[in-house]
Each structure stands twice: as C-alpha cells, then as structure tokens.
A and B are shown apart, each in its own frame.
Chain A
Amino acid sequence: MLKIEELHASIEDKEILRGVNLQLKPGEVHAIMGPNGSGKSTLASVLIGREGYQVSGSVTYEGQDLLTLSPEERAAAGVFLAFQHPVEIPGVGNMYFMRTALNSLRRQRGEEELDPVDFLALAQEKMKLVEMDQTFMNRSVNEGFSGGEKKRNEILQMAILEPKLAILDETDSGLDIDALRVVASGVNALRSEGRSMLVITHHQRLLDYIVPDQVHVMTAGRIVRSGGKDLAVELEAHGYTGTQEADAGRLSTAGISR
C-alpha cells in the first residue's frame, strides 16, 4: 500500500525529515508519535504534495511513485489528509464544497458525477457517523467552526471521499473528551480492510480509542523506535526524552521490517 524509503525533506536549507522509512499494508492503522518539531506534520505535508519542500528518497503508493503526482492526483489516487488546522473558505458552502470534491475525484477516476439530490442522501448518511447536523452543511467551509467542529468536519469529508490511505494529523488536538470520542468512533467506523491509516499524534490518549496495529516514535526527523500498541503506553509513562536517550545511537528500521 505505502512504502516510504529514506525520505528526506528540507525547507529553506533546514532539514526536517532525515531519512524516514515506513511501510503500511492495506487495512493497517499505524500511529506516529513524537514531540513537537520532530517532523510528524512535515511527513504528512510531503505525502500530500505541499509545495516548498526539497524532497529526496522514495514514496511508493500502490505501485506508483507518489512524489511525482500533483496534490489533486494524489487525492484521486485515494490519499486523504485530515488537516491539523483545517482552513476556512468564506462564502463557499460546506455541502457544495464536499460535493465538488467528491465529483472532482469521481471525474478524475472516470466515474459518473453525483447530482445534488444523490449527494445529499449520501452526506446525510455519513453525517450520522460524526454526529453532525444539516446546519453544518449550510455554513461556509470551516468558517466560525469550533476546534471540535472543524475536526469532525474533516472526518466527515473522509467518510464521504472514502480514501484508501487516510492520514490524520493531530486530529485529537484541541478536542475535549466528548469530541474526542465522537471523532474516534467516526474513524473506527471507517476502518476497513482496504483502508490504511496513518495517525499522527503526540498523546497516547487518542490511541485508547483508535487502537493502532503499530506505533512508531519519531524524533528529529527519523523514526527511532517501532512497536505494538503497548509502546504508546510506555511512552506516556516515560516520555519521549527517555525514548530518545534509550534509542540514541541505534537507528530503528523496524517500520519496514515486514
């Protein structure tokens, strides 16, 4: 599904990713944990094709070279990012935005577009997953949404666009426990055999709800440790600093062990 090898990325001569290796199989959910500034969000940005980075290394997604595709082509290939800070688009209706997005994807894939009526039915079905009501759909994209509403809106888009690879960037940040529960159950409902997820977080809390198959620890632009879900618990107890020291000097390639 996804194979990242020796991925480097720098911005204005500052190297942020310094050789990331990671492999994700269909249906797997991997968590990437690490302190602020360790390069987690940069990894997400590079995977979706944000401009401004010098990138080297390789990212193979479903057999194709992901790095050569434009952001919209990556989206059409099934890559989705739930943004850490979803942007507001004033004056553009949420419902219209999502329908346009879905139809753009369908068009790029050579599928027939959905008319507004069919789309509405689809959207209403998916809105239940994240406990959103129609009023959200009538507002402008993310405009005036609370932090929790924005995150739910991201998961709703994921539900509607049905990606094969979903990257969740700090989806838990700024959420109270109720909102976290709603978002997590939405994500869990979308777990399936054909859909892989990369969950980026620095709190173990989220992983109590979204239980990962693997946990990777990222510090200073590299994955320094990988393990099962218990690793997250250990990190919570000892912190990243401990991990960093414990792993100093031995670079893990556990992420591509399989």
Chain B
Amino acid sequence: MSAPTTSTGISDEVRALANQEYQYGFVTDLETDVAPRGLNEDIIRLISSKKNEPDWLLEWRLRAYRNWTTLTAPTWQHVTYGPVDYQDIIYYAAPKPKKRVESMDEVDPELREMFDKLGISLGEQERLSGVAVDAIVDSVSVATTFKDKLAEVGVIFCSFSEAVQEHPDLVRQYLGSVVPYNDNFFACLNAAVFTDGSFCYIPKGVRCPMELSTYFRINAADTGQFERTLIIAEEGAYVSYLEGCTAPVRDTNQLHAAVVELVALDDAQIKYSTVQNWYPGDADGNGGVYNFVTKRGMASGRNAKISWTQVETGSSITWKYPGVVLKGNNSVGEFYSVALTARRQQADTGSKMVHIGKNTKSTIISKAISAGHGQNTYRGLVDMRHSAVGARNFTQCDSLLIGKDSGAHTLPYIEVKNQTGQVEHEASTSKIGEEQLLYCRQRGIPEEEAVSMIVNGFCREVFKMLPMEFAVEAQKLLTVSLEGSVG
C-alpha cells in the first residue's frame, strides 16, 4: 500500500475513464506497403527478400511453412470461433518509410502522431521516462529509442529485422531454440511469415539500466500480425521487458499469432510484463483480435529466473500459455496473470512449467475475471520430470464471476515423475460477492465504483508485480473494460 499505484489508488481520472468506449480504435492513414492476400512459398520468399534475409533464414521459414501445411488448428481449447481463412489474410503490411530511419527525429510524423494518440510519445519517452521503446506497427518495427545509451553497456535492443542483419550469429544460435518452428500450429505459422519483432541481448553480468518496452499496434486492415520477440540474458544479466498492444476498431477479426522466446543463462533474470489491450470486439461479439500467442522462456542456466506477468483485457479470443522450461538447477519460473473477459470475449490461458533441473521452483498465480458473456478458462501444466529432484510448484487460480451469464473454468494438468516433487494447487471461484457489493454500497460507494474496487483488490497480487506505470495502466484498463457489466 505504500505505492499509490496499487489497488488502493483508483483515482478520479480513472473513474472518468470508465465512461469511455475502446479508445484506441482510430485508424492512422499511413501509406502501407502490402503483399497480396494469401499464403504460399512465394509470399514467404517475398517477405524474406523484402527483409533482405540470409538464405538460412529463408530456408527455416520454408521448412516451417511446409510443416504448417501438414498441421490443423488446435480444437481442444475451450473457445468457439468461426473458421479462419488463412488464404484471406495479408501476411505482410509495412508502413512505407520515406527512407531508412536513422534517429527519432526522422520518424514519419504521422506515425509519431499515432503513437502520441496512444499516449506513447516516442520522443517524450526518450527524454523523460527512461524507458527504451521499440514501436511495432503492423509487424514492422518503426522506431527504437535509447539505442545509443544501451549500446554503451553492451545491451542490444533493436528490431528483429535489424538483428538479423547486424547480429546474425546470435539470431541463428537462439531463434527457435525455445519455441521450435514446429512447436504448434500458430507458432509454426509465425515461423513461416513473421515480419518483425524485437530483439534484445543483455551481455554477461549486465543489469539493463532501464526498462525495455515494445509497443505493438495493428493498423492496416485485414492483416495478420506475426511478430517474434527474442530476448537473451547472458550469465548474471538482468532485464525487465514490457509489452503493450492496441488495435483499431474493426468489424472483422484480426489474427495475431506472435512468438516470444526468452533465454536465461546462469544466474540471469528476465522479467517480462504484458498489458494486452487488443480490440475485444463489440458487445455482440463482432470483430476483435484473435490473440493466439506462444510465449516460452528457457531457464537454461543455474539459478536462472524468468517471470511472466500479464494483464489480458483485450482480444476477442485469447489463446496463450506463457511458460518456463526450468532446465538449470535451482532455476525459478513465475507466472502472474490477470485475464478479464467481458462482452463476448473468450480466453483460454494459463501457464506451463516444465521442471527438469534439480530444486527448480515455479509459482503460478492466475486471476480470472468474467463479466457479461465472457468465458474464461485457466489451463495450466505443471510437469515435473524424472530429473527434477526436489522441485516445487505452487499454483493458485482464482476466478471471479460478475453477472449470471459469465463463465469460469479451471483445467490444471499435473504430471509428476519423481518422488521428491512438491505440487500445491489452490483454486477458488467466487461470484463477485453480493455481500461485498452491499457492504460497499451501505458505506455509500456507488455500485460501479464498488465493482471496480473489488476487482482491483482481487488482482492486487498480480498488479504489484508490474512495473509502476504498467500497474496504473492495468487498473485503468480493468475499470474501462468492466464498464457497463454491472446490473
């Protein structure tokens, strides 16, 4: 309660926000370089050549594509949606740069304006906040701030395309090492067609001097967004990484199939935070982003630590299971999640913790909130292998239901193959307490405000894991997303 940004600090400004519709729904008129609709080997060759990629990468993409054509989309998840026509999607859409951008001042003014509208003034960020930002529009990185300052300590933070050009050995060594191209349907699609993303490398013993941040934005119509993020923390390195997302309001669905790979070597620590606010679709379930994402960390070294913190309020459908492979002895994996489904949103999300090394430890805290006709499923895997002597897991899944039409489901999978493993699982489902609401209202607190207060309180354990600015953002988002879900 010391920081003003915990659940206790819902300000008037936030209350005012509650009266807004999805506010990032504007479209920016950018000149876009677009590939024809549909997917085939030629499109992949086109993407690869547009990016001036080396042959090995094109080969990797093609292997992925050929494998993908043998796969079918998963159907086990607890969500329903119409078939996706993968031949009706535009796989490459880039805001056309006038020329290659050398510094922030040269970024297309319309682009800058768009980011200003989003509240991410790239220039301001650079000067004031000390957060380095990589801004990605329609899968292409348009600007990365603070590069020089980071370079002084040896940190590489750039767009994925740039990394392919300038640090090909690193990319080649680690690309697909955590999420192989044939991992699953969507990861495989991503491997074939990814257009950009962020790349981050923290050298041995370096504590990254600032938060790194990527801002994703889908702007062009009928495009898929397939970005790929790769973060490598060498021995003893530390980095905190933030990811935020928005998209314009459109009445058709947009596909977002991203892959994030994290690699933490001995004593390294990666903290990855996401505030996901893709357009959720309207009240009747029209439009919205399909958020089908594969995120995985490899704690490959001794005492390595990887934490995922996510606040998921957007997307019409969310399908993601950020996980950690705990390979190094004494390595630690954490997953803190708030997933909110309102309107007709559906989420099937959770975490996978795979314990391989000795004395590995994982924690999963999941808070699911369902309002309106929202359906929220926690699906998690705790897998303790034979070698994982002394491994421990603690899982806590809490669900909060608002209204009578929402649903919450918990599907934990636990596989323990050694005698010394310890797994604790706690789960609770509560309706937003009639009793809690009455208590607040009896004290004079109006109903909507009371709901927001109770929900924020419910999520507090997760919010306190977020960096300060993100915690504020997350609270605002929850309040906005819950608007109209009471009564």
Measuring CB to CB, which residues of chain A are less than 8 angstroms from any residue of chain B? 48-51, 70-72, 74-76, 80-81, 83, 86-87, 89-93, 95-98, 100-102, 104-105, 108, 138, 140, 157, 161
Write the chain B residue with the least CB distance to A101. Answer: B443
B50-87, CB < 8 A from A: none
A91 B458 Cβ-Cβ under 8 A: yes
Apart from A83-B442, A93-B8, what 17 extra A-B contacts exist at CB < 8 Å? A48-B438, A48-B442, A72-B442, A75-B442, A75-B443, A81-B442, A87-B433, A87-B436, A90-B460, A91-B7, A91-B458, A91-B460, A92-B453, A92-B454, A96-B8, A97-B443, A108-B444
Bound: A138/B449 CA distance, A: 21
A101 B444 Cβ-Cβ under 8 A: yes
A105 B444 Cβ-Cβ under 8 A: yes
Write the chain B residue with the least CB distance to A85. Answer: B435
A71 contact from B1, B7, B433, B438, Cβ within 8 A: B438
Contacts of B454 in A (CB 8 A): 89, 92
Q: Could you jot down 18 A-B contacts, CB within 8 Å?
A: A48-B438, A50-B438, A75-B441, A75-B444, A83-B439, A87-B433, A87-B436, A89-B453, A91-B458, A91-B459, A92-B460, A93-B6, A98-B443, A101-B440, A104-B444, A104-B449, A105-B443, A105-B444
Contacts of A91 in B (CB 8 A): 7, 456-461
Looking at the assembled complex, report how far the CB atom of A41 sits from the nearest CB atom of chain B, in whole angstroms. Answer: 13
Bound: A49/B449 CA distance, A: 18
A87 B439 Cβ-Cβ under 8 A: yes
Bound: A75/B440 CA distance, A: 10
Q: Does B168 contact A (CB under 8 A)?
A: no
Write the chain B residue with the least CB distance to A83. Answer: B439
Looking at the assembled complex, report how far the CB atom of B451 sits from the nearest CB atom of chain A, in whole angstroms. Answer: 12
In this complex, which of A71, A81, A108 has the most chain B Cβ atoms within 10 angstroms of its Cβ? A71
Write the chain B residue with the least CB distance to A113. Answer: B12
Q: Does B446 contact A (CB under 8 A)?
A: yes
Q: Does B447 contact A (CB under 8 A)?
A: yes
Listed from nearest, the 3 A-B pairs whose CB atoms lie closest are A91-B457, A91-B460, A96-B8
B315-350, CB < 8 A from A: none
A89 B457 Cβ-Cβ under 8 A: yes
A104 contact from B1, B446, B459, Cβ within 8 A: B446
Bound: A91/B436 CA distance, A: 13
Write the chain A residue with the least CB distance to B454. Answer: A89
Contacts of A98 in B (CB 8 A): 443
B441 A92 Cβ-Cβ under 8 A: no
In this complex, which of B443, B444, B460, B461 has the most chain A Cβ atoms within 10 angstroms of its Cβ? B444
Bound: A254/B442 CA distance, A: 30
Contacts of A83 in B (CB 8 A): 439, 442
B453 A104 Cβ-Cβ under 8 A: no
Contacts of A104 in B (CB 8 A): 443-446, 449
Bound: A175/B8 CA distance, A: 30
Contacts of B457 in A (CB 8 A): 89-92, 140
Bound: A34/B457 CA distance, A: 38
Contacts of A161 in B (CB 8 A): 443-444
A72 B439 Cβ-Cβ under 8 A: no
Q: Scoring B residues 275 to 302 as 1 if CB is less than 8 Å from chain A, else 0, what string do you get?
A: 0000000000000000000000000000
Write the chain A residue with the least CB distance to B455. Answer: A91
A93 B1 Cβ-Cβ under 8 A: yes
Contacts of A138 in B (CB 8 A): 1
Contacts of B459 in A (CB 8 A): 91
Q: Scoring B residues 109 to 134 as 1 if CB is less than 8 Å from chain A, else 0, what string do you get?
A: 00000000000000000000000000
Bound: A138/B2 CA distance, A: 9
Bound: A80/B439 CA distance, A: 10
Contacts of B441 in A (CB 8 A): 49, 70-72, 75
Bound: A30/B77 CA distance, A: 60
Given A91-B7, A91-B461, A92-B453, answer yes or no on A72-B446 (Cβ-Cβ < 8 Å). yes
A92 B8 Cβ-Cβ under 8 A: yes
Contacts of A81 in B (CB 8 A): 442
B430-487, CB < 8 A from A: 433-436, 438-447, 449, 453-454, 456-461
Contacts of A100 in B (CB 8 A): 445, 449, 453
Write the chain B residue with the least CB distance to A52. Answer: B434
Looking at the assembled complex, report how far the CB atom of B41 sits from the nearest CB atom of chain A, in whole angstroms. Answer: 52
Looking at the assembled complex, report how far the CB atom of B241 sits from the nearest CB atom of chain A, in whole angstroms. Answer: 26
B445 A72 Cβ-Cβ under 8 A: yes
Bound: A89/B449 CA distance, A: 14
Looking at the assembled complex, report how far the CB atom of A215 sits from the nearest CB atom of chain B, in whole angstroms. Answer: 25
Bound: A98/B8 CA distance, A: 11
In this complex, which of A74, A80, A89, A161 has the most chain B Cβ atoms within 10 angstroms of its Cβ? A89
Bound: A81/B459 CA distance, A: 28
Bound: A95/B1 CA distance, A: 10
Bound: A127/B456 CA distance, A: 26
Contacts of B8 in A (CB 8 A): 92-93, 95-96
A92 B7 Cβ-Cβ under 8 A: yes
Contacts of B446 in A (CB 8 A): 72, 104
Contacts of A93 in B (CB 8 A): 1, 6-8
Contacts of B434 in A (CB 8 A): 51
Contacts of A74 in B (CB 8 A): 442
Bound: A93/B460 CA distance, A: 10
